[in-house]
Amino acid sequence: MKIDIVTIFPEVIKTYLEIGVLGRAIQQKLLEINVRNLRDYSEYPHRQVDDYPYGGGAGMVLMAPPLIKAVESLVENNSVVILTSPQGCKFHQKLARQFLQQEHLVIICGRYRGVDQRFIEGWVDQQVSIGDYILSGGELPSMVVVETVARLIPGVLNNSENLDLDSFSNGLFEEDLYTRPREVDGRKVPDILLSGNHKQIEQWRSEQREIKAKELKKNINNKIK
């Protein structure tokens, strides 16, 4: 699978791509990622990529021509062009699986107030939001998408990072996890996990996953008043 990411801050993204699961996937050539500087596609003086909004108002807007040039020089026969946007379709594990089926993704990172609407209408296949909040750019959202998809590529995760047990992989949440020490501030590890009875442990874990999926709402741990 190949992914091109178009951004005005390529260095930030390149650093993140070097570490952990993503770094390994790229090194092992299970995934090819190219980070493109939007300014390289600008034909304006000083490699300008943004301008004031028509109609007035504060902030800048990414201009269509550099974005169009980037997309047109990157797309191939079966490319899907994704724009990160808080107005997009909410990103979730199922969408990640759909992206995984694609040969080539081109992900555009917005900045400032956003991008010229004509680019969205003419060149973007799918707008993707990572949640109902506003970030300053599409760089973090693009990394969220890329890392989620990369984890699904066969061979990317090693045995210790079991994909099938991840939350959302089968409609369940992962069971509660415990590691050393045995006691933390009076809180103990559930006895069953120390019993050595693997059959019962497996049963406990699978019950936990079911219970969490049924009863735990996503904000159960939100203790902020």
Contacting residues toward ligand SAH, per CB under 6 A: 84-87, 109-111, 113-115, 129-131, 133-138, 141
What minimum distance in Å lies between the beta carbon of 78 and ligand SAH?
24
How big is the CA angle at 82 (ends 20 and 74), to the nearest 5 degrees? 90
What minimum distance in Å lies between the beta carbon of 128 and ligand SAH?
6
Query: Whole-angstrom distance between the N-terminal and C-terminal Cα of the chain?
Result: 44
How big is the CA angle at 19 (ends 125 and 34), to the nearest 5 degrees? 35
What is the rounded CA–CA span in Å between residue 51 and residue 49? 7
Nearest to ligand SAH by Cβ — which residue?
110
Partner residues linked to 81 by β-bridges? 106
Burial class for 120, CB neighbours closer than 10 Å (0-12, 13-18, 19+)? buried
Of 114 and 157, nearer to ligand SAH (C-beta) is: 114
What minimum distance in Å lies between the beta carbon of 67 and ligand SAH?
11
Of 54 and 133, nearer to ligand SAH (C-beta) is: 133
Of 50 and 175, nearer to ligand SAH (C-beta) is: 50
Of 60 and 189, nearer to ligand SAH (C-beta) is: 60
What minimum distance in Å lies between the beta carbon of 89 and ligand SAH?
10
What minimum distance in Å lies between the beta carbon of 71 and ligand SAH?
15
Please give the C-alpha separations between residue 198 and each of 31, 54, 193, 201, 208, in angstroms, as whole numbers.
36, 66, 9, 5, 15
Of 106 and 109, nearer to ligand SAH (C-beta) is: 109
